[in-house]
Amino acid sequence: MIGVLGISYKTAPIDKREIFSFSKDEIVPFADFLAKETGISDLVLLSTCNRTELYFTQSKYDRLTAIEKVTEAFKNYKNADHECSRFLYHKFDLNAVKHLFRVAAGLESMIIGEDQIIGQIKDAYIHCTDAGLTDAVLMRLFQKSFEAGKRARTETGIKLGNLSVSSIAVEMCVQKIENMKEKSLLVVGTGNTGSLALQNMVKKGIGKTAVINRTKKSAQIVADRFNSEVHSFLSLQSQLLNHDIIIVATGAPHHLITKNMVKKAQANTNRSQIYIDLSVPRNIDESISKLPNVKLFAVDDLQIIVDENTEKRKDAAEIAEVIISELAEAFNDWVVSRSLRPAIKTISDNLEEVYRQELENFKHIESNEIKKAVDSYTKHITQRYTRLLIKNLKEITDNGRNTDSLNVINEMFKLEENNRRKH
């Protein structure tokens, strides 16, 4: 069984999503906890600003039991209260496959067709695979999701307009600020989101830019690309008063900018400031919005611009859905056909044994020519009936989907094998 348990911007506000946010360092400890609590050990955990999703495979429990156990482990690890259950969603097998493919294609994103999600999925998959957390089914599933994401973007017009949370945030700034060339920007966090925000602001003509990151080397690499200043993370407080726009996008699990920090910065300047928090959990104390001359925007505040972009992409999204359904059905066929392998192997082994036993009856023949003829004919008959039985097996079980028929066939050949061993 393939399953997914998740929470996203579609089902929960940011204060609930941040409860279930995972840093990379938490993934392996959580996997150990999940294995201990449920016995389920094959997983990929995806955690972004808009979603946290746990993809897993298991054959130990029925669907209901599996999702109950995984949900409890998920909540317990994050110390979430019972109320949080109503914000979680789950899907199984073909529906779980389609969901992942839709996520990879950007159809589940706040900005339909955005590019950043595919990189985030790849990072999550590689991290979990390197940690030994993925089995053959998950490996193939995620590799196929990359194909789904690529085809959806290259074969449709889904990439029209702004393509990321970063670019939407920049678009919002442009709408609210005049004389961009006279303004100054500070970006805190130089990962993908922060770097994209900086890149887009430079394209829009922002006057002066600066970056801060916990790792100065990473900050310097990004700064060199965009001719930005680099400041120490310890100078964050002092740098707040020097900039008109502050964008924060880090993986920190707590507030990096507090109300007191902004209040101190505002005490030394009369300039209006825009703070944009692209982090989940949030890195900016939401109470700063109560201060004069300060505007704060978080991920969920970008929805108005998102809606405008969504209208442009609806037709392309319908085409992408067709591509995703096709790929998901093909993957599902591969998964269910795997259940036929034990029966097919047993059929082949049984007929191979019959073939060997029949040859034993012709040992007394001295003519090599006749022996070769008997061997060739017996092998031909064995292979023919093997192919026929396998063909019928696939038809009777609907290529492995009809588990009741498959169980009967497995038991039948198991019985034949036992009888053969007795003789």
Q: Contact, 299 vs 165, CB < 8 A?
A: yes
Q: In what order do the strands lie in the sheet with 245-248?
A: 229-231, 208-212, 184-188, 245-248, 273-277, 294-298
Angle (nearest 5°) at CA 85 between 83 and 91: 165
| Backbone angles phi and psi of 359, in degrees to 5 | -65, -35
Q: Is 49 a catalytic residue?
A: yes
In this structure, the strands spanning 42-47 and 51-57 are antiparallel
User: What letter would DSSP give residue 126?
Assistant: H
Q: Contact, 173 vs 276, CB < 8 A?
A: yes
Check the CA dihedral 406-411-416-418 and report its sign.
Answer: positive
Distance between CA atoms of 27 and 128, rounded to whole angstroms? 8
187's enclosing H/E stretch is strand 184-188
Task: Choose the catalytic residue: 49, 84, 128, 173.
Answer: 49
The strand ranges marked E within 41-166 are 42-47, 51-57, 89-92
Residues 6 or more apart from 138 whose CB is under 8 A from it?
Answer: 42, 43, 44, 55, 56, 57, 128
Distance between CA atoms of 248 and 168, rounded to whole angstroms? 14
- Indicate the residue type of 15: D
Q: Contact, 196 vs 240, CB < 8 A?
A: no
Distance between CA atoms of 43 and 57, rounded to whole angstroms? 7
Q: Contact, 107 vs 324, CB < 8 A?
A: yes
Catalytic residues, which ones? 49
